Amino acid sequence: MAGEPVNVNEFQELARQALPKMYYDYYTGGAEDQHTLKENVESFRRIIIRPRILVDVSKIDMSTTILGHKTSAPIMIAPTAMHKLAHHEGEVATARGAAACDVIMGLSYMSTCTVEEVASSCNAVRFFQIYVYKRRDITALMVHRAEKNGFGAIILTADTPRLGRREADIKNKVDVDSRISFNNCDARIHAITPKIKFLEYQTLRSCFSQVMQTEMFMLTDRSTNKTLQDKGSNIEALAAGTFDASLCWKDIEWLKSITKLPILIKGILTSEDAIKAIEAGVAGIIVSNHGARQLDYAPATISVLEEVVHAVQGKVPVFYDGGVRRGTDIFKALALGAKAVLIGRAVIYGLAAKGELGVKQVIQMLKDEFELTMALSGCCSVDDITRSHVKTEKERFICRM
């Protein structure tokens, strides 16, 4: 590629050049046939924008308010794991990029910088994403650390009782550089099982590979010495050992009992679950298929956004993620009822290509594209973006009949 990157796809190419194949594949990949992965992006292309002309667009205001936090644009950074695999400064660089653009940073439970490091690195508004461990006390500790360090909300990821099957990670035998550790969750070593308590904690905590060995140890049936789970990737095995697959709706009550922070639930794809989420008392919903990394042949996220928005009836804000690569995508999601969008891979591409500067450039690029889309569509503020500004494929099909 000649010159500076001019769009997210070009940042993706820079990330590909910068990263070892194993990590690039981990970041870009989706589950199984990657059908949903393609659809997450393609479905946006099938939605067209209905622009209005001769509107005074000399001043465009992209700002909005998310759970009471004023932000420069309806954009948040999606929680994604292990940023130190993309850049040595990890989530600290990402958070600084978010702060520079005045957007909210979502920090993953599986981050490689701690909540304390991220909190002290910049003044970005931060939300903390959690997976719920079998060992609830560890998750509670993480929630309290986030609360103590000024995080503004908890994002409960609810679509991951087990990790999706990402075949590239299996083939690549994905593993992590021994200098990197899950610093945020070093307590997670305890989470695997009380059975491993006799193993030396300090030797276990240092890196992912060692966690893997521990995990494999734990998954071995001592009587036969046969590994109980050896078909998935290392990451899948680790998730199987730590994540609580029994998590269900009643557990939101538990989460509410341990924190005063507002709770966003991430991973809603149906009206049925949206209604349950509201009954459970969440402060907001994130319509997400986890970047198509969980259930393949789940719907493209943008195709179900409206179903969820209708079910929610304005009771709580609805956020969106999946496949956002352009400012026009952000505009379309807002027109279909999202309050804001979360950006996953695009931010990682920026981070891998240029660290903090790359994160900043990717977000700024998306903001610039979004602002231009607003101007060319005749919208001066985010409230001016309405359902009538887009036409879905289904509507176009009905029009033709």
Binding residues for FMN: 79-81, 108, 129, 157, 266, 288, 321-325, 344-345
Judged by beta carbon distances under 5 to 8 A according to partner kind, the member of ligand LXCWX6NK, ligand FMN, none in contact with residue 322 is: ligand FMN
User: What does the alpha-carbon distance between residue 31 and residue 50 come to, in Å, rounded to a whole number?
Assistant: 34
User: What does the alpha-carbon distance between residue 386 and residue 165 come to, in Å, rounded to a whole number?
Assistant: 38
Q: Which two tokens stand for residue 269?
A: 């794809």
Q: Which stretch binds ligand FMN (CB under 6 A): 232-240, 252-260, 320-328, 350-358?
A: 320-328
Q: Which residues are annotated as a binding site for glyoxylate?
A: 26, 131, 166, 290, 293
Q: Which stretch binds ligand LXCWX6NK (CB under 6 A): 233-241, 255-263, 319-327, 363-371?
A: 233-241
Q: Minimum distance from CB of 239 to ligand LXCWX6NK (Å)?
A: 4
Q: Which stretch binds ligand FMN (CB under 6 A): 91-99, 186-194, 271-279, 317-325?
A: 317-325
Judged by beta carbon distances under 5 to 8 A according to partner kind, the member of ligand LXCWX6NK, ligand FMN, none in contact with residue 324 is: ligand FMN
User: What does the alpha-carbon distance between residue 148 and residue 48 come to, in Å, rounded to a whole number?
Assistant: 44
Name the residue among 67, 46, 78, 6 with its Cα closest to residue 321. 78
Question: Does the annotation count 290 as an active-site position?
Answer: yes
User: What is the full DSSP assignment across 189-245?
Assistant: HHHH-GGGGGS-HHHHHT-HHHHHHHHHHHTEETTTTEES--SS-HHHHHHHHHB-T
Size of the residue set binding ligand FMN (CB under 6 A): 23
Q: Minimum distance from CB of 62 to ligand LXCWX6NK (Å)?
A: 29
Q: Which listed residue (205, 290, 360, 389) binds ligand FMN by CB under 6 A?
A: 290
Strand partners, 341: 75, 320
Q: Which residues contact 123 (CB under 8 A, 6 or more apart)?
A: 99
Catalytic residue, chosen from 190, 290, 310, 389, is 290
Q: Minimum distance from CB of 213 to ligand LXCWX6NK (Å)?
A: 14
Residue closer to ligand LXCWX6NK (CB basis): 236 or 356 = 236
User: What does the alpha-carbon distance between residue 274 and residue 251 come to, in Å, rounded to a whole number?
Assistant: 16
Within 10 angstroms of residue 287's Cβ, the number of other Cβ atoms is 31
* CA-CA-CA-CA dihedral for 327, 39, 343, 296, to nearest 10: 170
Judged by beta carbon distances under 5 to 8 A according to partner kind, the member of ligand FMN, ligand LXCWX6NK, none in contact with residue 214 is: none
Judged by beta carbon distances under 5 to 8 A according to partner kind, the member of ligand FMN, ligand LXCWX6NK, none in contact with residue 25 is: none
User: What does the alpha-carbon distance between residue 359 and residue 77 come to, in Å, rounded to a whole number?
Assistant: 10
Q: Return the active site residues.
A: 290
